[in-house]
Structure 1
Amino acid sequence: MTPPLSRRAVLQTAILAAAAPGAAYAAGGRAAAATLPAPSAWTLRPFQLGEVALGEGLFAAKRALMLDHGRGYDVNRLLQVFRTNAGLSTLGAVAPGGWEGLDGEANGNLRGHYTGHFLTMLAQAYGSTGEQAYADRIGSMVGALTEVREALRHDPAVLAVAGRFGTAPENVRGSYQYVDLPADVLGGASAITLSAWVKPTHDANWGRVFDFGNDTTRYLYLAARNASGVPRFAITTGGPGGEQGLDGAAALPSNVWSHLAVTIAGGTGTLYVNGAAVARNTAMPLTPAALGTLKNNWLGRSNYATDPVFAGAFDEFNVWSRALTADEITALQNSRAADSFAGRGDLASYAFDETTGGTFADASGRGLDATLRRTWGGPSHPGFLAAYPETQFILLESMTSGDYTKVWAPYYTAHKILRGLLDAFLYTDDARALDLASGMCDWMYSRLSPLPDATLQRMWGIFSSGEFGGIVEAICDLHALTGKAEHLALARLFDLDKLIDACAAGDDTLDGLHANQHIPIFTGLLRLYDATGEQRYLNAARNFWDMVVPVRMYGIGGTSTGEFWKARGVIAGTIGATDAETCCAYNMLKLSRMLFFHTRDPKYMDYYERALYNQVLGSKQDKADAEKPLVTYFIGLTPGHVRDYTPKQGTTCCEGTGMESATKYQDSVYFKAADGSALYVNLYSPTTLTWAEKGVTVTQTTDYPREQGSTLTVGGGSAAFELRLRVPSWATGGFRVTVNGRAVSGTPVPGSYFTVSRTWRRGDVVRVAVPFRLRVEKALDDPSVQTLFHGPVNLVARKTSTSYLPFGLYRDAALSGDLLPTFTPVTGKPLHYTLDGTEFAPFFEGTEDPTHAYFRRAEPKVAFGNTDSGVANPAKDDGTTLLDDIWAGAPFSGKGALVSRVRATVDAWVAAGLLGEADGEKVVETARNASYAS
């Protein structure tokens, strides 16, 4: 009986049958050669980066630091790991280190991710500024990656370097290359000499000069360095415990040619280094004759799978069926073997004077030609492109639990490379970049499409190893460009059904999940909804967002602690040094932006402002650095935390997304309605929009958030459209709009958009007043733990103390409910205030000061207008105090309204037995006699 098709198979068949072929992209604006077609499901459209110019201000200053970094960093350092994987010259470049390099954390198993981030950063920098230097750097990187893919498509070829006598092949560290010799190379000899010239380029222990054996039981080898760092020769028929060995006396120097030779005859073995005998063992009866014909005969590779491949160059490898004399070995130091007393090896002789290809002729007369190979063979598909072998992808398919020391998110790394290539194409129109991106997806489809559903579901559910980042979004974007059916089918192979179905049903299963492994999944689901119309994708994304905001969100907009989510509503209980991974904020912004395209719900832009103006800006240090982007990994919210802007040598995921964030600050300032009927002003930021379709420009002049409002000036021709100005949810009083000096009628509603509809003409001036109010936001699980906001700006206390600072804020509160009168402004420092000798500053300032983002609210006595009633401030079981209840009625139209609120609240508390009647009268009398700011 034929088994029924799986749900996935049915969907794939439908997609392959229905998807339209062919590219579909339109010409874009300045510095943007191509644009993605906007999905029909989007009710709004973004503008290109080149259409929105940043003016002088907070964002431009932060961006300038990143632009300088992108302009000056040596991109060959990023390409180093790709070139090594392909066995190409690295041009002397050294990888950055940290997570990006062979020696990084977990053996560098994430290498290549940072290159993708850097490409995106350069593309956005070019798109924003039009500066040719960024396009040139993109072109050189894409060219190098094209060469890498071409090299990986074929058998490895010799990288020729200057040898001891002529040219020599070099095994670049990380190339996984070795020389494979025929099985009869040792000839069953009862006496032998093996001789080689080597130039090590790395000091890893146990890299083999040669290793001839069947497995880890029967072999003979010569390691350039043993565990003690000196050369070692060993022969055995009984594994490591039966080794008969010779150990050198000193380490071989790096980047210097050294001659090594081993002789065995008559039970004696001798090890020579540069012509001098450095070790002799008279108890070595084993010879190649005792080993028999061996299966694996390798130069540069070990029969122990965990040993490193030898990194360095080889010259002149010879094998003789006798023990050369000391004089003969000494003579080998100054001439080729062919020109020495010894002559060529009679069992095998390789001069390595080959500069192309991967075959080495044997000059012994036995015809034992050798072949250059990779330990992992080669890619399963010609589209493969990575900075490490395909083995990580293959191993993931059989893993049942995560182990990032073996497999560290290979599809996540593939996503970063794919995204970088797509952005390179979109901003520079480099067809090579699109070809590389398309090839990667062709390869992934060939790799994943044959796998059973159960295997895919298991893979994507594995922590860290199965993480795939925003790859679905990138694949859908590619599909919009290529129209290839396989690309859309590939995007759906990443469906993690358990998560999607739970979120679509509104079931919150996030507790314990790795936050940034899952957030970008939902941007991909939205793009799948755009491409397929499947409602569960949209439902899942919308419901997921509500499971994070606000129930797992810190005041700055960030989420996660130690990279993971805890139970919903637990905020104070998770505050620590590893809160709010910066990547999470980056991806939540992307998700919020995309949800707004679909729904136009202002809550998404409220969140966008919160996270952008606080965590994202605050994650970038206000300091120039040529080598590092200086972006936080964890932002850290524990009292007295000092931000670390160079974690793990500056190459983590968060430095990567931080580079991207800093070159696209303007991407969500304006959106346009799909039919062109309206312009949405989402953020108040100094910018100039060029709206080509309407023939107008809109220039915002503002120092927001240091200024409480913005001025918009229309330029160009005339055009009719609605101007929709965001009214932040925190703007609860005084939001006003004038056009050419005349007030616009209407009632602004916090958390909505205020619409001005007219035919706009050159010179029209719109003034938006957005008065700030100082307010607190309480932790959901402990109302006494609070964070302070002035308008959109989170204010943090700066103090070295590592415990929560206690502050009372009601004593001078204004009738409007504004807490600002309790604070004293710092002269000459906008948005800086002091309270009880402690300075408060904006979170967005990227300093290394110890900060307190949260404090402990302490209102021990009931006071009004700095007049103390002498009555203790009582509290309910949930932590709400009498003063909280009173001031919850703000704003008050006047003092009488406040006193009335006090009277009503006191009466209710007295009736509930929470406050004594006499104390209640003292409270009312104090409120009546106090004076207040308006």
Structure 2
Amino acid sequence: MASFPARRAVLRAAALAAAAPAISALPFARATAATSGSVAAVAAVAGLAAPSAWAVRPFALKDVALGAGVFAEKRSLMLDHGRGYDVDRLLQVFRANAGLSTRGAVAPGGWEGLDGEANGNLRGHYTGHFLTMLSQAYGSTGDKVYADKIRYMVGALEEAREALRSDPVVLSVPGRFATAAENVRGSYQYVDLPNTVLGGSASITLSAWVKPTHDANWTRIFDFGDNNTRYLYLAARNAGGAPRFAITTGGAGREQGINGTGPLPLNKWSHVAVTITESTGTLYVNGSAVAKNTAMTLNPATLGTLKNNWLGRSNYPDPVFAGAFGGFDIWSRALTAAEIAELQDKTAAESSAGAGDLASYTFAETSGGTFADHSGHGRHATLRRTWGGPSHPGFLAAYPETQFIDLESRTSPDYTKVWAPYYTAHKILRGLLDAYLNTDDERALDLASGMCDWMYSRLSKLPESTLQRMWGIFSSGEFGGLVEAICDLHTINGKAEHLALARLFDLDKLIDACVAGDDILDGLHANQHIPILTGLLRLYDETGEERYFKAAKNFWDMVVPTRMYSIGGTSTAEFWKAAGSIAGTLSDTNAETCCAYNMLKLSRMLFFHEQDPKYMDYYERALYNQVLGSKQDKADAEKPLVTYFIGLKPGHVRDYTPKQGTTCCEGTGMESATKYQDSVYFQKADSSALYVNLYSPSTLTWEEKGVTVTQQTDYPQKQQTRITVRGKTARFDLHLRVPSWAGDGFEVRINGDKAPGTPEPGRYFTVSRTWRDGDTVRVAVPFRVHVEKALDDSGVQSLHYGPVNLVARDPRTTYLQLGFYRKAALSGDLLPSLTPVEGKPLHFTLDGVEFAPFAEGTEDPTHVYFKRSEPQIIFGGLDSGVANPARTDGTTLLDEIWSAAPFKSKRALLKRVEDTTAAWVSAGLLTAEDARKVVSTAKAASYES
């Protein structure tokens, strides 16, 4: 590829220095009043590696190489999918919308196609996701196959935009005799004939060669009329699938019709003709009369001159005809049966009837948008789009601008009419930006800039009240992470209009509530709102307005932990319930995968501003559990095999191919699986420190310091990591995350010597030194088995081993009743109560039930939550013979005893047992004799430390 100007190289180098595509880890310079709108000025300050508000910044995907392990294995499956998938299938909807050849490709289907849910009104979104996935794959691996696909897709999108900016042009294809004109399904194209085409004739013959490519009912071969009251038409298929001719002056209820007896075959040429003379109308199919109506009182003369004279379009809101026209003729008389039969083997002009004397079109044109009339009357026809056109400058989508126009007047949700057009625009824009940043393809930047120019031209003219109404409409007004992407583009091109555009998406009701700390999330569409907050963070970076940052920060606390499930996910059937509702919301439709994707993004971006370890604790939870577990451990060339919802009710089986595999969650799932390494390491803005956030096998190339940092680990299978620093001598602080779930035993050794200081759970442990080539850091991260209680029902719990959510694999669809105190260790670790499965790391059994990591992408029925049941008081495997009593709130005697763990010694445990049983005796909850038995058993038992 040709080299680019120095300006471009500087911009890209600065952007990639901290870019993790689709996560907005883009290190962009803030555009000031002096630089706004000036690309050259932005280039001059583009050396700023991150927004000034960021205290830390991420590394580019190319700078962090994944080592062998679960992340590399999952990524490999997605890389193979990206490598092998035919991207012409994704481009099909864009090409069809633009009236271009779709090259025989079939759209993926589901949400990415013309059929399926909501009439395919989200089509185009999946293409954007795929571009981002390919960009991340290329950024991570440098494999040229991904770059080649990106450039091919960008080129096709550029062609589609150009076609949308022009009048429609004939798509010439082989015809029945010579050439034909195809209307690609999804192109919204039809042929407009002059209003004199019927000539006022009382007797008439209308003849057409057609090749239908879709079986939608009521698509018109022709429809001549004023409206849906006065017309005559020939439908390719009626409600029964057969051709139908009808004429009326009183609407559908007064049609005089003729119905065929069988369907026209798809993808084959058929000849259809209608004759009317006196009171008889006859319908012919392939040269044979298939039906007659001998009681007709209407003919074209009675209708008079009609306003709309169309091939392929209906005067009703019926689908546009999809297929090809190989010839269309109109005669001012009824041809004989013999003349109709002759048309099977000859063109009209070559037949004894001759070309139609009222109108005759051969569709022999191979360019332009006009079809010549060969009748001698000069009634030439024009190719048009139902939605008008050309489109406005910069517009790019896989459906017409009408989706956006409709939203501007819409007051209520109806995704069958309008389904999140700005959300779809976000996915396309994000994909183009990622393509630009990873391949240097200037065409992608031009397409992205054009989209934002177009959006600004529309939205900047709308009243504030209209914008607030639009963005508050469920689903239809959803705009995803569009603000974030627009801000990222603004920092590249410095256009003031683009920053102004980003602010037009402010949803004040949400922002104001979050700033005030008012939790209004109950009942809201979860993933419609989470990415709004990532956009606000980027707006804060660009504008310095504190309300944007405060809103995002307070919002995060409304989700974590009060609406967070044990795997890190959130939402039920896409919506939030009241804060604290966990056990009461478990169903088949919990934890929409997009929500986890966007909560990770939000957590990451908040950490850039404030290094609160809680954000990375959450990141680890959601990444190691829901995100990993959302990808099936199976290869598939056609589908990404990613979940939409993850059901958390007992016995749920994950569905890795919902809705044909083209939902929002398959899209974000593809992205997640190609950027697992994006948050393993961060660096302080001044490069004086390195944050190790995740213990993941990987190698960081830290160019600023001239070093590589390599982690060798089997984490989480093994509870340790070895970090090796190679390269130049360099001074920096090493911040090692001590997970909040970590107990005693977290240890750091530098070149074999224990590092000074005491690691604290939920903090970062810092090693400050001058690092030399070959220095090693060994980190021990001991796991323990512990439970987490549902906020609304302490008896409903989930099981965790360090960061790993262990789930029971069992086909029962009712809660499993499980107890864990029987062999609890003095530390409070419940691991001794479980039996490891030989040869299967992180697998255990209890009472005949196998537990496995949630991250394993299998189709086994799983139990993420269970009912805690400790009917007997048991210590170290010894049964006291005493039933475990409970208070009215459900807290049992054993709960109260073990809540004081860890115990430094057996003596400390016994003291707790004695004090607790005495208190329960005094409260009348335990007899003195039973208390004696409990204490005696506790003394006799042996415990692991």
Q: Could you say which TM-score interval applies, normalised by the shorter chain?
A: over 0.9
Q: Percent identity?
A: 77
Deviations 1:152-179 (A, max 9, x none): 0001000000112221110001100000
Contact 1:212 1:294 in 2 (8 A): yes
Distance in 2 separating the partners of 1:592 and 1:422: 22
Distance in 1 separating the partners of 2:535 and 2:716: 32
Of residues 199, 214, 217 in structure 2, which corresponds to 1:202?
Answer: 214
Q: Secondary structure at the match of 1:700?
A: strand
Distance in 2 separating the partners of 1:627 and 1:490: 37
1:481/1:880 CA distance change after superposition, 3 Å: same
Contact 2:65 2:677 in 1 (8 A): yes
Is 2:820 the partner of 1:804?
no
Is 2:202 the partner of 1:186?
no
Of residues 700, 703, 722 in structure 1, which corresponds to 2:733?
Answer: 722
Partner of 2:52: 40
Q: Secondary structure at the match of 1:444?
A: helix
Which amino acid in structure 2 is aligned with residue 772 of structure 1? F
Q: Secondary structure at the match of 1:101?
A: coil
Is 2:575 the partner of 1:559?
no
Partner of 1:292: 304
Contact 1:36 1:477 in 2 (8 A): no
Q: Following superposition of structure 1 onto structure 2, how do residues 418-817 of structure 1 map, counting pairs within 5 Å?
A: 418-817=429-828
Contact 2:112 2:662 in 1 (8 A): yes
Q: Secondary structure at the match of 2:94?
A: helix
Which amino acid in structure 2 is aligned with residue 58 of structure 1? V
Q: Following superposition of structure 1 onto structure 2, how do residues 810-889 of structure 1 map, counting pairs within 5 Å?
A: 810-889=821-900
Distance in 2 separating the partners of 1:321 and 1:36: 76
Distance in 1 separating the partners of 2:756 and 2:130: 48
Of residues 162, 165, 176 in structure 2, which corresponds to 1:164?
Answer: 176
Which amino acid in structure 2 is aligned with residue 21 of structure 1? G
Distance in 1 separating the partners of 2:130 and 2:403: 23
Distance in 1 separating the partners of 2:116 and 2:263: 24
Deviations 1:87-115 (A, max 9, x none): 11111111111111111211111111111
Distance in 1 separating the partners of 2:505 and 2:366: 43
Residue 399 (structure 1) shift: 1.4
Q: Secondary structure at the match of 2:821?
A: coil
Q: Following superposition of structure 1 onto structure 2, how do residues 339-488 of structure 1 map, counting pairs within 5 Å?
A: 339-378=350-389, 380-488=391-499
Partner of 1:922: 933
Residue 552 (structure 1) shift: 0.4
Distance in 1 separating the partners of 2:47 and 2:695: 25
Partner of 2:316: 304
Distance in 2 separating the partners of 1:213 and 1:25: 59
Of residues 28, 32, 36 in structure 2, which corresponds to 1:20?
Answer: 36
Q: Secondary structure at the match of 1:498?
A: helix
Q: Secondary structure at the match of 1:688?
A: strand
Partner of 1:4: none
Distance in 1 separating the partners of 2:47 and 2:64: 15
Of residues 239, 242, 246 in structure 1, which corresponds to 2:258?
Answer: 246
1:436/1:35 CA distance change after superposition, 3 Å: farther
Distance in 1 separating the partners of 2:307 and 2:625: 62
Contact 2:35 2:41 in 1 (8 A): no
Residue 404 (structure 1) shift: 1.1
Partner of 1:73: 85
Which amino acid in structure 2 is aligned with residue 395 of structure 1? D
Residue 17 (structure 1) shift: 7.1
Which amino acid in structure 1 is aligned with residue 891 of structure 2? T
Contact 2:467 2:504 in 1 (8 A): yes
Distance in 2 separating the partners of 1:568 and 1:913: 35
Contact 2:885 2:926 in 1 (8 A): yes
Q: Secondary structure at the match of 2:409?
A: coil
Contact 1:171 1:310 in 2 (8 A): yes
Residue 35 (structure 1) shift: 10
Q: Following superposition of structure 1 onto structure 2, how do residues 883-898 of structure 1 map, counting pairs within 5 Å?
A: 883-898=894-909
Runs of 4+ residues over 4 Å off in structure 1: 15-19, 24-27, 34-37
Distance in 2 separating the partners of 1:99 and 1:91: 21
Which amino acid in structure 2 is aligned with residue 866 of structure 1? G
Which 10-residue stretch deviates more, 438-447 or 52-61? 438-447
Contact 2:42 2:493 in 1 (8 A): no
Residue 905 (structure 1) shift: 2.0
Residue 918 (structure 1) shift: 3.2
Contact 1:688 1:698 in 2 (8 A): yes
Distance in 2 separating the partners of 1:35 and 1:41: 15
Aligned length: 913
Which amino acid in structure 2 is aligned with residue 136 of structure 1? D
Distance in 2 separating the partners of 1:316 and 1:836: 75
Deviations 1:132-155 (A, max 9, x none): 000000011101100000000001
Is 2:106 the partner of 1:94?
yes
Residue 342 (structure 1) shift: 1.3
Which amino acid in structure 2 is aligned with residue 308 of structure 1? P
Contact 1:23 1:480 in 2 (8 A): no
Gaps of 5+ in 1: 1-14, 28-33
Residue 222 (structure 1) shift: 0.6
Distance in 2 separating the partners of 1:221 and 1:806: 68
Contact 2:42 2:494 in 1 (8 A): no
Which amino acid in structure 2 is aligned with residue 22 of structure 1? S
Distance in 2 separating the partners of 1:876 and 1:509: 34
Contact 1:25 1:36 in 2 (8 A): no
Residue 303 (structure 1) shift: 0.2
1:389/1:587 CA distance change after superposition, 3 Å: same
1:36/1:628 CA distance change after superposition, 3 Å: farther
Of residues 256, 260, 272 in structure 2, which corresponds to 1:260?
Answer: 272
Q: Secondary structure at the match of 1:908?
A: helix
Q: Secondary structure at the match of 2:400?
A: coil
Distance in 2 separating the partners of 1:263 and 1:786: 75
Contact 1:16 1:486 in 2 (8 A): no
Distance in 2 separating the partners of 1:632 and 1:315: 45
Partner of 1:127: 139
Partner of 2:27: none
1:616/1:200 CA distance change after superposition, 3 Å: same
Distance in 2 separating the partners of 1:762 and 1:440: 49
1:16/1:744 CA distance change after superposition, 3 Å: closer
Which 10-residue stretch deviates more, 871-880 or 147-156? 871-880
Gaps of 5+ in 2: 1-30
Contact 1:44 1:671 in 2 (8 A): yes
Residue 128 (structure 1) shift: 0.3
Deviations 1:783-810 (A, max 9, x none): 0100000000000111111111111111
Partner of 2:68: 56
Distance in 1 separating the partners of 2:49 and 2:336: 76
